[in-house]
Chains A and B, each alone.
Chain A
């Protein structure tokens, strides 16, 4: 570092120098690699205003490997000349010498040697002159000594054509004294140590400045999954609003609880093989609450409880068919049935967030399984206005304040309303959930009192999460194809906090 011998010498030379010095010249003078002078310059730069530097580039002639050899051993033609004894040499033998071919023709044209083709044992080469001046070697030695400028332009270009010389560009520093120039640079400390603290030496030591624009080292840590972080926040919101969590740890459900109990007729398209995963094994639910089943059957097929019913032949076998639940409302139906068995009736607020399954066509926003969020309130005299009021509070906690309600149709709620919120980015209303008041045909067969209304709403967990974390393809979020880097990098989930730049994929 700054206390290296080169840096010290550089500072001393600089003190004595008039104006400044060149890094390459210094390297030559010291007999060290230019690179080590550059290193010293850089370490001094890092100390602040000790030195000032200016980057210069200079062109220089250097010998090639062959040029270096010739400067050392002489030119090929000189070597050929020297290898010929007074009595001459057979040409064939000469040609076998390392410099033979090139040297022979050059020496011939210099008229240093001659060939006697009439010799008895084939052509023989003889010296013509007694001694020669090796001009090529002399010139190359000049270049090697850094005196290339003593050669003429023509001479240099001839040597370059013979690939003995090359021109190289050298980047050097012109170093001059800085405003805080000093030759006594003490070693800068990088970090505070226990010894410094105990000895108090930190008081007299300079410390190397930190580079605050560099990144820190991320802690080794585990990470929670973004979708489940959002799930935790939704749970928190429901708990804040006084909602009790329903058990949903039963992916397998009978058609009875999934459809029939919800007054969804047996010919309903959702009960098609195309939309629902049915089970081969175990194919049928063996136990159903038969008293209740009979009330459900009667309501579907004949009506009752003020209803006309659907007037069709309701089949128990159809209700026994097992499936992977298509909505968590199946769990809500079980919870409400349990509530109905408790006498006297106690008002209840329920919620659940769990997986549901659909045998659907898959695309960038649809998977065969996803999470449903559901809220339910059961009490005497609940109104549509109450439903809207609860929804307003719920969505406000999600940071969604502009709501609008559209009449809709659900088989098990009446009235039903789709919930729309105004999306600032898209400048339009987008659907954010579905809601309604459960039909009396669903509640009364369970045994709930007649003046009890149950309001409910639902939405998917994936959609708000994709919007929150700016994810376009659901496979990057859910399932094994998840991008772990995304999981590592995902921020906290604060649903009501100011959003980042408006995302554009919400419409999807």
Chain B
């Protein structure tokens, strides 16, 4: 969930009233926001870097507000204020308009070289905008928030904003060899080639995260004006030449990316939010983009869409009984201008370009419910009549767990993920013999594979509890995972039961007795006859030679029991003899 930090006093001034922290928290809750933290720049720095560094930093109160991940229109102060003011019916939601300039329209030409790396670009102009320090900061911050969220860290979309008065169109969006791109990047005093820049930015704490997007590509994306001035090298850095400042009057905005829909949404969000400060409020000057196929598109789209929703559908989905007029009013409070039309049951809802999150009637219904107030909805119980059933495997597991504890064994709960070493090397086996599934992106060795046996987890539990009085008797009934090409995903779980006895003596007879007890509980008689169980001498690297037996029940091998091999005991950092049993319980379903 993105967090937006705004100055409290600036927020209250824009809202036209003040709130106590509690009142504002309440308002956020109702609207689906969360007042996450009340802090200040000074407090943040002192928390992160110590009191000394914080000396002299601003102690203006900041509200950190958590915003739902799909509400890009609430990622800046301007949007938050507009949303809340409309919600509280203090203002009407603005109409955003795209206008053609009196003179020549700005043009951005996309060449076909971009196709392989970053094929889409959109653009727009904010004409006669009036920045202040706070507005300018908010403008920069919004781009950063968009980059981190919808733009997926600039991979899908990257934004460049420029002082149009320093440039001269038409603009060209192309891709060139890194060695052929040379310009003075933002906040640098000299020119570098793209190759040099990629090296320099390797140590830049912010920019280093974006280099991978183009790093190994033969061509890098770049935007030029008609004089060959570099506007930007997306998604890495803008040129210094066209840098915007508090005094910038006319802003050229370009968004490039690999996701056309998202590029258009991002552009719409920026211009709808900041056209508020243009001379002609909420109007945006169009720009034309010529695609490599010669097609000409005009941006920003600022598309308004009409959706029809039946009032009784809203009432039925939410569980309320409101008149269509009231419902239209509720929706209008959510920036969705609505009116009752037709037979008096139809509501026509206008989806503004700021609300890209509204893609289905259910999104409209949710907004009606939010405006109605979730906590005003009458709670009722559905009349759904059903008979409950347990999942048979879990039912068996629950019954067995109880009786394992009754037999004096204590239940452990160990991780399903572990290292290759745990399930192979430490048990004297080769990993290829385990049929284990392998994780491709573990952050540490603890998450290399899914366990193929419960034994390592229990042995590690013993090792962590060596100080406890002996004997230690543990069990676990849980799932292990084995590759199985007959399954849709190529792997399946098996429900295993494992128990260990750890003491000064191996206690094989105790583990053997436990097996007998388990078979008694499962109503499996001893003996090799059909339906019975028996153990037969066996061997394996896990067990001490001559102290291992395979368990057969209902005509199939279900596991092994025995005294652990001293090498296994040692590798799990244990010092006492130990015996164990591990079986698959699925044949007993």
A interface residue numbers (CB < 8 A to B): 220-225, 227-228, 232, 235, 238-239, 241-254, 267, 269, 273, 277-288, 303, 305-312, 322, 324, 347-349, 355, 357, 359, 367-369, 377, 379, 381-386, 388-390, 392-393, 404-409, 414-417, 437, 439-441, 453, 455, 477-485, 487-488
Contact = CB atoms under 8 A, between A and B. Distances in A.
15 contacts: A222-B410, A223-B411, A228-B401, A242-B386, A247-B393, A248-B391, A252-B481, A287-B488, A348-B386, A383-B319, A408-B32, A440-B362, A478-B415, A480-B460, A484-B410
A373 to B, nearest CB: 13
A481 B464 contact: yes
Q: What is the interface residue range for chain B against chain A?
A: 35 or more
Nearest to B411: A225
Contacts of B378: 385
A367 B378 CA distance: 38
Contact of A347 (B262, B380, B384, B481): B384
Contacts of A322: 489-491
A252 B450 contact: yes
A252 to B, nearest CB: 4
Contact of B413 (A278, A385, A392, A478): A478
A404 B29 CA distance: 10
Given A385-B380, A478-B413, A307 B317 contact: no
Interface string B402-440: 101111111111111100000000000000000001111
A383 B317 contact: yes
Contacts of B412: 225, 480, 482
Interface stretch (B38-46, B66-74, B163-171, B178-186): B66-74
B370 A482 contact: no
B207 to A, nearest CB: 19
Contact of A254 (B379, B388, B468, B488): B488
B261 interface: yes
A386 B438 CA distance: 43
A487 B465 CA distance: 12
Nearest to A252: B491
Interface stretch (B220-228, B338-346, B441-449, B536-544): B441-449
B355 to A, nearest CB: 11
Given A235-B398, A369-B416, A440-B360, A407 B374 contact: yes
Contacts of B260: 311
A238 B488 CA distance: 29
Nearest to B360: A307
Question: Which residue, B381, B390, B405, B472, has most C-beta atoms of chain A within 10 A?
Answer: B381
Contact of B320 (A385, A404, A477, A485): A385
Contacts of B374: 384, 388, 405-407, 417
A328 to B, nearest CB: 12
A223 B495 CA distance: 20
A385 B363 CA distance: 17
A390 B402 CA distance: 30
A388 B377 contact: yes
Given A223-B410, A388-B379, A306 B361 contact: yes
Nearest to A346: B386
A270 B374 CA distance: 27
Q: Pick the 5 closest A-B CB pairs, nearest first.
A: A385-B319, A407-B32, A383-B319, A282-B490, A409-B68
Contacts of A393: 381
A269 B148 CA distance: 10
Given A279-B437, A453-B317, 17 more contacts: A220-B408, A225-B412, A239-B390, A277-B440, A278-B441, A282-B483, A283-B440, A285-B488, A285-B490, A307-B359, A359-B442, A369-B416, A383-B319, A384-B377, A385-B378, A409-B68, A415-B369
A185 B58 CA distance: 87
A312 B374 CA distance: 33
B43 to A, nearest CB: 19
A277 B439 contact: yes
B384 A480 contact: no
A298 B491 CA distance: 28
Contacts of A284: 490
Contact of B359 (A269, A308, A369): A308
B375 A405 contact: yes
A268 to B, nearest CB: 9
A480 B490 contact: no
B192 interface: no
B413 A280 contact: no
Contacts of B411: 222-225, 228, 487
B389 interface: yes
